[in-house]
Structure 1
Amino acid sequence: MSKITFKLETDFDLELDFVLIGISSTLKDYRLCHFINKFSGLQLIKGKEDYKDHNGKEKEKPKDELDYHILFESKKTKPSILHHFNIFRYHNQTFDFEYYLMSNKSIEGGSLIPEIINFDYFLLIKHYIDEEDLEALIDNIKAIPEVLLAKELDPTVLKSKENLIF
């Protein structure tokens, strides 16, 4: 009897429909959020999602899932860990864009994007933003005195890019 072997090839091409800005700053996340709002005109608020849906009904998700960006880390030699990353959001339904300010360090001490730990925060912009508006936003963030560096990053070259998908 001969042995038949099947090989399943998977090629998941992550759709990275966002712009990513890396930010290095000495500020706590809520203070950085305040200054980004002040300098850029955004209205970032705490949490990944609103507690209510578009009909005004309470969402049936755990509070942690609405408040944090949560990643599950499992290692062979250590017990599994849930990492909770602070996140702030600004949604504009009129123009259909979303901004998310995320900490690169979880409450538990893990990194969202471990290969670039020199950035303390990431501003993720979903949907379209034109180059002129993006440059103006980055300049506004750089104008915050406690921001050491703000620059656009290419998410396609990151090994941990899947951590930015939600």
Structure 2
Amino acid sequence: MQIHALGLDDFGEEEYALIGIHTALEDYKLAYLLNKNLNTRFSKSIKDLEFEIERINASFSLYNFSSEEYSFEWFLIENSFKRENQLASNELLLSTETKTYLIPEKKKVDFFLKISGEGVFNFVENTVQKINNIEQVVTSYSIDKNTLKSKDFLIF
């Protein structure tokens, strides 16, 4: 009987490019503007990205688009989740807000644009330029996924 062992190198790492977007826009407004300027058709996913991070259930908004022209899969992912905590103290109702990040080492990034597929890296520079031309976007830039400690949260 022949035995075959699989090593970690036998599983290919997903090829994707990552763009960080800084904006004060709501998720649906950003998706609309990206559709308008990038000729995409982002739509809200049926389910958001849900994780338990530091004993807090966090839900991150997710939009997706499949491009048949380039064989790319696009994802617009919110980087932060806000949860309101209410405390009752001596007849007062105190409220605090807890913010949880999908990628904590990139707290200033409001949204990530993940583009999956073969040969996406040549396509990213042009996409970043188009996103930066959107008036309501402060800035966007390519992010090297290998520098992220929390990049596993982007695998879905």
Query: What is aligned with 1:17?
Result: 15
Hey, which of these two has a bigger chunk of strand by percent? 2
**Runs of 4 or more off by more than 6 Å in structure 1?**
10-14
Shift of 1:92: 2.8
RMSD of aligned C-alpha atoms?
Answer: 2.2
Identity %: 28
Quick one: distance in 1 between partners of 2:70 and 2:121?
16
Q: 1:144 aligns with which of 116, 134, 140?
A: 134
**How far apart are the structure 2 equivalents of 1:129 and 1:44?**
21
**Corresponding residue to 2:51 among 62, 66, 71:** 71
TM-score normalised to structure 2 length? 0.77
CA distance 1:27–1:125, change in 2 (3 Å):
same
Structure 1: stretches of 5+ with no match in the other structure? 1-9, 48-65, 75-79
* Aligned residues of 2:72 and 2:120 also touching (Cα < 8 A): no
Change (3 A) 1:16 1:157: farther
String of CA shifts for 1:66-90, please: whole Å, max 9, x gaps. 420111224xxxxx22211001000
TM-score with structure 1 setting the length? 0.73
State the shift of 1:16 in Å: 4.1
List runs of 5+ in structure 2 lacking aligned partners. Answer: 1-6, 84-98
User: What's 1:87 paired with?
Assistant: 62
Q: Compared with structure 1, are the counterparts of its residues 94 and 41 closer, same or farther at alpha carbon in structure 2 (3 Å cutoff)?
A: closer
